Chain A
Amino acid sequence: MKAPLSTVDCHEVMDRFDSYLDGDLDAQTAARFEHHLHSCSDCAAEHAVAERMNQALGGTALEPCPDDVFVRAVAAVTTSENGQADRPPLAGKRLPGIFRWKALALAATVLVMFGLGSLPFLLNRADDEFSAEEIAQARMEVEFALGLVSNAGRETGVFLRNDILNDEVVQPIQRTISPIP
């Protein structure tokens, strides 16, 4: 079981096993390690597990983050930055409706112009002219824009509910309907 080696024993092998696997040992010490592994079944078994483990771990790709998780994070960040995150739905100071519509229209216009402005550039280039980095960057920008659009959509919903339905419809109706005596 235990190899009768004068130069390296099981204890030393276990202590410096990682260095051996990482190729950090000098050639002479590595050779002594290998000699020991051939003559000791315990250490050979440990080595077999390590080799198999490294082989499996080495080929493991990272699990990609789903796009919607990133988009939701960006939306949460932009909401938080605008001070909307902690605000109750019907409380706080809001821009007058007309300015909020203008802001949303401006955001939509910028996005459309950005898209249209990119068209000639995209049409004049063959697909294989884009590098992997360019594609990754474009993908990230689109996801970021989607996050902003998602945020704008939510804002619009809040605006429709608070300013249009509540202020312009519900409250006037409530004012005109007199309570039954």
Chain B
Amino acid sequence: MPLNSSVLAAHRHRIYDFSLRFLRCREDAADVTQEVLVRFWQRGEHVEAQARLGWVMRVTRNACLDHIRRKKTRNGYTSATEFIEDFEGDEPSPERLSESADFRTRLEDAIAQLDEPYQSLIILRELHELTYDELAVSLDLPPASVKVYLHRARRRLRSALQQILTAEELTP
């Protein structure tokens, strides 16, 4: 018996948000979200309710990574970062241009520049507020290592921000 549609609906915003932050392209995020929702519908019933969020975010992250790999192969990119830079260079949205000085935009840029699994850790912990156990399932990490990885992720992000922000911008 497939999942109830309300379970599917309840997770859709998380799936889309993560995909959008990871891929930084609405069209690609929509494709990945649709793909994950179908997979969730078909296989989610076999996952225990309390492990469902971690599972679905793992499926989403893997789908995003696959999407980047496919696109890299198709377009000849050599790294995910290069793909992101190229995408941003081609289509700078009006919002991004007008908000280029905004702290939040620069923070999101800094998050996007983090390597994996640090980028996913920051998105899932700081924005989606997943628990350590859910993070371990999402990122396929040993539960005992999650805190260590998260510590490194935050430190890398702070270091990146310190390099790109001026002293004025660091003052709330």
Contact = CB atoms under 8 A, between A and B. Distances in A.
Nearest to B16: A65
B81 interface: no
Contact of A53 (B8, B147, B161): B161
B33 A69 contact: yes
B5 A63 contact: no
B162 A18 contact: no
A62 B162 contact: no
A84 to B, nearest CB: 14
B71 interface: no
A62 B130 CA distance: 13
A76 interface: yes
B172 interface: yes
B33 A73 contact: yes
A48 interface: yes
Interface residues of A, number: 35
Nearest to B103: A56
Chain A at the B interface: SS class: helix
Contacts of A141: 5
Interface string B7-50: 01100111111001100000000100110011001100000000
B157 interface: yes
A71 to B, nearest CB: 10
A141 B21 CA distance: 28
Interface residues of B, number: 40
Given A45-B162, A49-B158, A50-B158, A65 B12 contact: yes
B128 A14 contact: no
Contacts of A76: 34, 38
A52 interface: yes
Interface in A93-132: none
Contact of B17 (A18, A46, A51, A62): A62
A52 B170 contact: yes
Interface of B: 2, 5-6, 8-9, 12-17, 20-21, 30, 33-34, 37-38, 41-42, 103-104, 107, 126-128, 147, 150-151, 154-155, 157-158, 161-162, 165, 169-172
15 contacts: A17-B151, A17-B155, A48-B170, A49-B158, A49-B161, A52-B161, A52-B172, A53-B158, A62-B14, A63-B16, A63-B17, A65-B33, A69-B12, A73-B12, A77-B2
